[in-house]
């Protein structure tokens, strides 16, 4: 199989340099030339989709707040960036930063930001489950994407999940969108989810799965004709492996570094 240079998708933005899921992280990724942006979305108590990975804020905001129990106005008052570099205020040589780029980020604003760039930018949106709102997350996501005209075939959006139930739900709501079944051997073995995966869905294995089972990945691509997107790829050797296997896209914390390594 011929080597294929994969698309470079920024995992939670340029999250090796900036606090994940903040506007600062995504602007840095866009300025670095990332082909796409990956984000996790959760629903607030008043129905807004926000870009947050964890169900609560302890890791990224030193708060005990649970995202699904808080309204957007509450979340917007919280600093989501200081944890990444807690000593920045003591560094006289640190560049000035815009506090608004370190606040909670709505999916709507992230999409609007990507549209400000004069090149196509793909969005890889993961819906997090389990959640108290269950299918409402996908319904709100479908409505938001429709606002931007992003539900038609060829839209620069793909929806991802570890939950095949969530993907089936999304398929009913937006039948023309690309869907990605995320696979992680630490949580779920491929054999367990395989019966539920539709033939046209993209497969999204973690890099550990790709390293451990390159023959399986090669079979998915060569024999089954599937597209494969891999996460999280931060090592140049792993990027080379993905390229050699014909993987279509890599999701990385370091989009600038991966682009330089791949020569794109």
11 a catalytic residue: yes
Spot the catalytic one: 11, 21, 48, 229.
11
Spot the catalytic one: 53, 129, 213, 261.
53
Q: Is residue 1 packed enough to be buried (19+ CB in 10 Å), middle (13-18) or exposed (0-12)?
A: exposed
Given a contact cutoff of 8 angstroms between Cβ atoms, the answer to whether 136 and 43 are in contact is yes
Closest listed residue to residue 258, CA positions, set 11, 3, 2? 11
Sign of CA dihedral 215, 219, 222, 226: negative
Cα separation, 227 vs 223, in Å, equals 11
Given a contact cutoff of 8 angstroms between Cβ atoms, the answer to whether 218 and 245 are in contact is yes
Residues involved in catalysis: 11, 53
């Amino acid at each position: 199989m011929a080597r294929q240079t994969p698309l470079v998708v920024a995992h939670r933005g340029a999250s090796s340099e900036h606090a994940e899921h903040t506007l600062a992280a995504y602007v840095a990724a866009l300025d670095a030339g990332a082909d796409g942006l990956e984000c996790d979305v959760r629903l607030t108590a008043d129905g807004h989709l926000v870009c947050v990975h964890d169900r609560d804020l302890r890791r990224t905001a030193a708060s005990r707040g649970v995202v699904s129990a808080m309204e957007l106005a509450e979340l917007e008052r919280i600093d989501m960036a200081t944890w990444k570099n807690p000593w920045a205020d003591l560094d006289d040589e640190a560049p000035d930063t815009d506090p608004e780029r370190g606040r909670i980020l709505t999916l709507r604003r992230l999409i609007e930001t990507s549209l400000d760039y004069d090149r196509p930018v793909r969005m890889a949106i993961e819906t997090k489950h389990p959640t108290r709102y269950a299918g409402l997350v996908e319904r709100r996501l479908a409505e938001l994407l429709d606002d931007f005209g992003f539900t038609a075939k060829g839209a620069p959006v793909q929806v991802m999940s570890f939950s095949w139930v969530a993907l089936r739900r999304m398929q009913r709501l937006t039948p023309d969108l690309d869907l990605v079944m995320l696979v992680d051997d630490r949580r779920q073995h491929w054999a367990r989810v395989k019966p539920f995966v539709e033939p046209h869905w993209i497969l999204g294995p973690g890099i550990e799965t790709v390293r451990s089972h390159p023959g399986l990945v090669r079979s998915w691509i060569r024999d089954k004709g599937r597209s494969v997107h891999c996460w999280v790829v931060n090592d140049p050797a792993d990027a080379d492996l993905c390229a050699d296997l014909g993987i279509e896209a890599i999701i990385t914390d370091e989009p600038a570094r991966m682009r330089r390594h791949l020569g794109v």
